[in-house]
Structure 1
Amino acid sequence: MTEPQTLGRFAFVDHLRGMAALAVAVFHAFGSTFDTAMWAPLLPFAACAELGWQGVHVFFVLSGFCIAEKIASLVRSGRGPRAFMRDRFWRIMPAYWATLLVCLLLGLAAVPFNGKSPASALPPSMWAWFLDFGLVQHWFEVPSLLLVSWTLAYEAAFYLIAALFLAFRPAVGEWGVITAGCVLTVFCFLIRSCEIETPLRFWPEFWTGFLAHAFLLRRKVWLGIAVVLTLAFVTLLIPANPIGQLHLVSVLTAIVLLAAYRHDQDLIRWPAWQWLGQIGVWSYSLYLVHAPLLSRSLNLGRRYVPPDSPLYALLLLGALALTLYCAWIFSRLVEGPIERWRHRPKLQVECQIA
């Protein structure tokens, strides 16, 4: 069987990560004031911030794209699903656990200010502790210490499905895997309604990124764009569907990936947004810690500065600046060392995207 190619370094992915992480952070910065009176000059910024939740869907597409590259690299180096899941575990879980510790410490530090007992900052039971640290609390409808952990629960589910594809690839071949992923996507589209959250809810977005990678490997950019647009058209034909949703921003992200690859070096040299690439490098840290830091700092600030005050703009900027700085520190102290250990020479693979 012919070993698959890999795309190698695609630096513009970091810029997209940076944009997505900032969008989500700004959304949460304004999140508690969308329905309250606000200083008038801030209203246009609040309207833009309200769209920031779409950054989550950008992340899902980027995840599918990067996981496709990771799988190609593992196959090329002769490794299988165990290596894949081990790599994903060390990429996601240690930094996630460290963030849970940050959430606990911030919650306990806020106790003197909110008049609650220290127990209110802790999970309500040992079962809740177990679910939170196992990243499965979303499937049991148990509140999490970390606001954004539900997206990581979907990520973990995507990884399990990708590991199955990697396990069966020797038997069914590369096109068999692609066919299985497309069938699963169509299955998601065909489910009209679902009262229960399932790991497949955002699978079409993950798979859109996976397909973008597959078409780039074959240098069939226009065919890839046509397929992605076809998926978007199929979605529009289906009534409101909580599982088979493919958001417009996800389609646009996949098209950007397909169109930008050939121009990667030109794009990243543009001085106006090189800083986005830097944020993208530690975007996982920003994504993890932004919600607890923003919520605590803004809740404290609103005790003295109401949203309808001109000073609230300074409070927002200060909270965002503090969050970015703390996320960078977190990346240096937690994510960075873990990543250097994960990519130490004996585990090094050719994939430089994921």
Structure 2
Amino acid sequence: MARAYRRPHGAAPAEAAVCGERGAQRKGRTISVNSSHPVSSSLDLAAPMGQEAKASGTQDRRQLVGLDGLRGLAALYVVLFHCWLYTFPGFPDSSAPPWLEGLMFGRLAVVFFLVLSGFSLAVSPARHGWRSGGVGRFLRRRAWRILPPYWAALAMSLIISWFIVPASHSGPPTGTSILVYGLVAQDMVTAPTPNGAFWSIGVEAELYLLFPLLLFVRRRVGAAVLVACVTVPVILRGLAAANASPVEGDNWLAPHLAPVFVAGLVGAAVVTASDRVRRLPWGWFAVLAALPVLALGVTQGSVWTVKHYFWIDIAIAPAMSMLLAAVATGRPAILVRLLTARPIRSLGSFSYSLYLIHLPIVMTVVRRVAPRFFSPGLPVFWFTLSVALPVSVLGAWLFSKIFEMPFKRNRSWRSLIEALSRGA
């Protein structure tokens, strides 16, 4: 992660942006709503029976779309972050005007996406005794949902990186890059990157493999033990580093980020909690938990903040989990209404595609197009914002129609081929 800040043109933070998958399957009077994150799992929300079932099903779906809205806004922030990052050199001591410093926290978007991923994956297991429904089935569904658009974006990124603008200071991708990134092994093996945002996909892939084990621990010994098992070793590692400030390399980031993923997982318990727990002011809890962390970052400045992201990640994750709990319980209502507004909901529906393809577009505009017409600094930034942002959003929408949505709507090759045949 720190690599993304020490060498911004190598791999910049992003979330493994995310995308919601919504559908309803009715059998008798039982309603199930499915949702998936680009790097998360489907949510199977079973509503009660009768009239309460209908009301609860509608409410669950609305809250689920609220989570999709959060994904969309977070993905949009990542695009803004990269427009800012590649326009102004010197990160973290950026040459950007101070009033643009609010765009510098792309790393926190990664943390949020990981918390959201853990939360989304765990909702269905939380409703079914913390059971995954089968390790093989879970991994197959994740691969089906994540890999096709990822591989399509990888091909696009390779072409742009080879022929238009390299994605890394280490030069264009190599044959090793194709193998490593094709196998989603970038968090374990170093290779020139074709797309600086892909590092988080590798992290999430490793966390997927751990997810059934995390559920097992949650089911057998409880949330507190799970959090301790994952978080204490990370804290001890941090304290053992020089000046208690670990320096991250290019790989093996999953062990450090596992606690934030688990923060989302344990937060998903709110969906089966008692009414008294669900009515708690989770939104305010989130604000109170985040304020000390944010205040520390503001007072210490950007350079200190970036150098201490190891600790900030862990400190901010509980606040993010409580924010998700708030939205999942329908509070605050004004935020849920915003997140379920049609434009935000639509953005969330293809946010995974937006995450996958936006960075090569931003870099092309910043490094190949803008310098031809504008002087460095704010002129390039405004041009990049006005061109790369809409092109990324519209391009992601089209990309999702071709490479993402068919795999969200169909769960097998047979179903996909039949759907394509009917379309033809």
Per the TM superposition, whether the score is higher than 0.5 is yes
- Does 319-328 or 175-184 show the bigger shift? 175-184
Among 117, 121, 125, the alignment partner of 1:63 is 117
Percent identity (aligned): 27
* Pairwise CA distance, 1:88: 1.1
Structure 2 counterpart SS, 1:269: helix
Structure 2 equivalent of residue 279 of structure 1: 347
State the Cα deviation string for residues 83-106 of structure 1 (Å, max 9, x = none).
111111112211111111111222
* Pairwise CA distance, 1:335: 0.7
Q: Separation in 1 of the partners of 2:348 and 2:214?
A: 28
Asked if residue 137 in structure 1 is aligned to residue 186 in structure 2, the reply is: yes
Q: Separation in 2 of the partners of 1:271 and 1:283?
A: 14
Structure 2 equivalent of residue 124 of structure 1: 174
Matching of residues 150-161 of structure 1 within 5 Å: 150-161=199-210
Q: Separation in 2 of the partners of 1:271 and 1:57?
A: 20
Structure 1 equivalent of residue 259 of structure 2: 204
The aligned length equals 322
Asked if residue 87 in structure 1 is aligned to residue 134 in structure 2, the reply is: no
Among 247, 250, 272, the alignment partner of 1:217 is 272
Asked if residue 305 in structure 1 is aligned to residue 374 in structure 2, the reply is: yes
Q: Separation in 2 of the partners of 1:144 and 1:6?
A: 38
* Pairwise CA distance, 1:338: 1.3
| AA in 2 matched with 1:137 | Q
Structure 1 counterpart SS, 2:195: coil
- Does 129-138 or 43-52 show the bigger shift? 43-52
Q: Separation in 1 of the partners of 2:321 and 2:409?
A: 29
| AA in 2 matched with 1:293 | I
Question: Structure 1: which 4+ aligned runs deviate by more than 6 Å?
Answer: 73-78, 223-234, 343-347
Asked if residue 20 in structure 1 is aligned to residue 66 in structure 2, the reply is: no
Among 149, 158, 180, the alignment partner of 2:198 is 149
Asked if residue 174 in structure 1 is aligned to residue 219 in structure 2, the reply is: yes
Q: Separation in 2 of the partners of 1:163 and 1:109?
A: 41
* Pairwise CA distance, 1:107: 2.7
Q: Separation in 1 of the partners of 2:186 and 2:348?
A: 27
Q: Separation in 1 of the partners of 2:74 and 2:65?
A: 15
Question: Alpha carbons of 1:308 and 1:156: their partners in 2 closer, same or farther (altered >3 Å)?
Answer: closer
Structure 1 equivalent of residue 398 of structure 2: 329
CA contact under 8 A between 1:85 and 1:159: conserved in structure 2? yes
Structure 1 counterpart SS, 2:122: helix
Matching of residues 222-237 of structure 1 within 5 Å: 222=280
Q: Separation in 1 of the partners of 2:159 and 2:372?
A: 21
Structure 1 counterpart SS, 2:397: helix
Structure 1 equivalent of residue 328 of structure 2: 261
* Pairwise CA distance, 1:27: 0.5
Structure 2 equivalent of residue 163 of structure 1: 212
Structure 2 counterpart SS, 1:62: helix
* Pairwise CA distance, 1:227: 11
CA contact under 8 A between 1:268 and 1:274: conserved in structure 2? no
| AA in 2 matched with 1:324 | V
Structure 2 counterpart SS, 1:11: helix
Structure 1 counterpart SS, 2:182: helix
State the Cα deviation string for residues 235-279 of structure 1 (Å, max 9, x = none).
x9xxx8776653554333212122222326764434995422211
By relative contact order (CA 8 Å, sep 6+), the higher-ranking structure is 1
Question: Alpha carbons of 1:110 and 1:230: their partners in 2 closer, same or farther (altered >3 Å)?
Answer: closer
* Pairwise CA distance, 1:229: 8.0
Q: Separation in 2 of the partners of 1:223 and 1:268?
A: 14
TM-score, structure 2 normalization: 0.65
- Does 186-195 or 151-160 show the bigger shift? 186-195
Q: Separation in 2 of the partners of 1:256 and 1:212?
A: 9
| AA in 2 matched with 1:325 | L
CA contact under 8 A between 1:24 and 1:52: conserved in structure 2? yes
Question: Alpha carbons of 1:251 and 1:76: their partners in 2 closer, same or farther (altered >3 Å)?
Answer: closer
| AA in 2 matched with 1:275 | P
Structure 1 equivalent of residue 359 of structure 2: 291
Structure 2 counterpart SS, 1:143: coil
Asked if residue 48 in structure 1 is aligned to residue 125 in structure 2, the reply is: no
* Pairwise CA distance, 1:143: 2.4
Q: Separation in 2 of the partners of 1:346 and 1:256?
A: 37
| AA in 1 matched with 2:234 | C
Question: Alpha carbons of 1:253 and 1:50: their partners in 2 closer, same or farther (altered >3 Å)?
Answer: same
Among 62, 66, 83, the alignment partner of 1:29 is 83
Unaligned runs of 5+ in 2: 1-43, 47-59, 91-95, 297-306, 417-424
| AA in 2 matched with 1:201 | H
Question: Alpha carbons of 1:27 and 1:78: their partners in 2 closer, same or farther (altered >3 Å)?
Answer: closer
Question: Alpha carbons of 1:321 and 1:346: their partners in 2 closer, same or farther (altered >3 Å)?
Answer: closer
Q: Separation in 2 of the partners of 1:229 and 1:182?
A: 22
Q: Separation in 1 of the partners of 2:414 and 2:129?
A: 18
Q: Separation in 1 of the partners of 2:291 and 2:377?
A: 40
Among 230, 238, 248, the alignment partner of 1:184 is 230
Q: Separation in 1 of the partners of 2:271 and 2:205?
A: 25
Unaligned runs of 5+ in 1: 37-41, 115-119, 348-354
Question: Alpha carbons of 1:128 and 1:346: their partners in 2 closer, same or farther (altered >3 Å)?
Answer: closer
